[in-house]
């Protein structure tokens, strides 16, 4: 049996973004226990993912990376916001993706976010949400098959052959993606406060 390729990209991506992930975790330290926390999560994820999917749709990618472009997630999040009667936020600062390494960093963040989603799904269900009733995104993104998909992604990632400059591009892209997600969760918190105050 041939050993799976391991160029150490995943480890270096995790190293480059670990602190940012800890900050995101701290934002949802208790998980999604309340309706307000859940709405903030969906609102922030919608803005982050919609922005990312728009950038990826415009990117010129080779087939191996194109295969990871999966524009379904924005629609799931839109569906969840509609089910909860919450308007999406205005578009945040635009992302731009320029080539495979740039895309690989963003894909790492999107695909990795499914691991967190597997943990959050139970919280959403406890709040009464399911597929079609506000948790389509978590059920699909973090549901059955998420672990298998992540392992397939990491295998493809480690098979890539980026030179030093491209690797740096990938690491910076992942860090930028986390910064974008943090920004969107911050905006979501404020938008949600305004939304509930106006009701």
Residue 24 CB, nearest approach to ligand HEM (Å): 5
Length of the chain equals 199
Contact with ligand HEM (CB under 6 A) among 58, 115, 126, 155: 115
Q: Does 105 bind ligand HEM (CB under 6 A)?
A: no
- Reading the block at residue 35, the tokens are 């309706």
Residue 177 CB, nearest approach to ligand HEM (Å): 7
Q: Which stretch binds ligand HEM (CB under 6 A): 78-86, 106-114, 122-130, 132-140?
A: 106-114
Contact with ligand HEM (CB under 6 A) among 43, 109, 157, 171: 109
Q: Which stretch binds ligand HEM (CB under 6 A): 19-27, 78-86, 90-98, 188-196?
A: 19-27
Residue-by-residue DSSP string for the chain: -PPPP--SHHHHHHHHHHHHHHHHHHHTTT-S-SHHHHHHHHHHHHHHHHHHHHHHHHS---HHHHTT--THHHHHHHHHHHHHT-PPPPP-SPP---SHHHHHHHHHHHHHHHHHHHHHHHHHHHTT--TTTT-HHHHHHSSTTHHHHHHHHHHHHHH----HHHHHHHHHHHHHHHHHHHHHHHHHHHHHHHHHHT-
Residue closer to ligand HEM, measured from CB, 1 or 29: 29
Contact with ligand HEM (CB under 6 A) among 19, 60, 119, 193: 119
- Reading the block at residue 79, the tokens are 């569906």
Q: Does 181 bind ligand HEM (CB under 6 A)?
A: yes
Q: Does 98 bind ligand HEM (CB under 6 A)?
A: no
Q: Count the residues of the shown chain that bind ligand HEM, applying the rule CB under 6 A.
A: 15
Contact string 28-47 vs ligand HEM (x = CB under 6 A): x-------------------
Give backbone dihedrals phi and psi of 122, rounded to 5 degrees, phi first.
-60, -40
Integer Cα distance of 66 and 53 in angstroms: 12
Q: Which stretch binds ligand HEM (CB under 6 A): 81-89, 112-120, 123-131, 136-144?
A: 112-120
Instruction: Using CB under 6 A, list all residues that contact ligand HEM.
Output: 10, 14, 21, 24-25, 28, 108-109, 112-113, 115-116, 119-120, 181
């Amino acid at each position: 049996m041939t050993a799976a390729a391991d160029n150490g990209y995943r480890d270096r991506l995790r190293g480059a973004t670990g602190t940012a992930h800890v900050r995101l975790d701290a934002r949802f330290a208790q998980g999604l226990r309340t309706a307000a926390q859940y709405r903030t999560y969906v609102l922030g994820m919608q803005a982050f993912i919609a922005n990312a999917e728009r950038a990826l749709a415009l990117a010129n990618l080779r087939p191996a990376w194109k295969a990871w472009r999966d524009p379904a997630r924005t629609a799931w999040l839109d569906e969840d916001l509609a089910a909860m009667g919450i308007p999406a936020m205005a578009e945040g600062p635009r992302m731009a993706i320029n080539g495979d390494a740039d895309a690989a960093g963003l894909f790492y963040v999107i695909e990795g976010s499914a691991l967190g989603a597997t943990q959050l799904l139970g919280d959403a269900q406890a709040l009464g949400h399911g597929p079609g009733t506000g948790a389509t995104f978590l059920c699909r993104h973090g549901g059955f098959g998420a672990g298998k998909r992540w392992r397939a992604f990491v295998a493809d990632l480690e098979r890539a052959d980026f030179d030093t400059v491209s690797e740096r591009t990938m690491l910076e892209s992942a860090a930028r993606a986390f910064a974008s997600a943090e920004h969107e969760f911050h905006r979501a918190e404020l938008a949600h406060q305004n939304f509930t105050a106006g009701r």
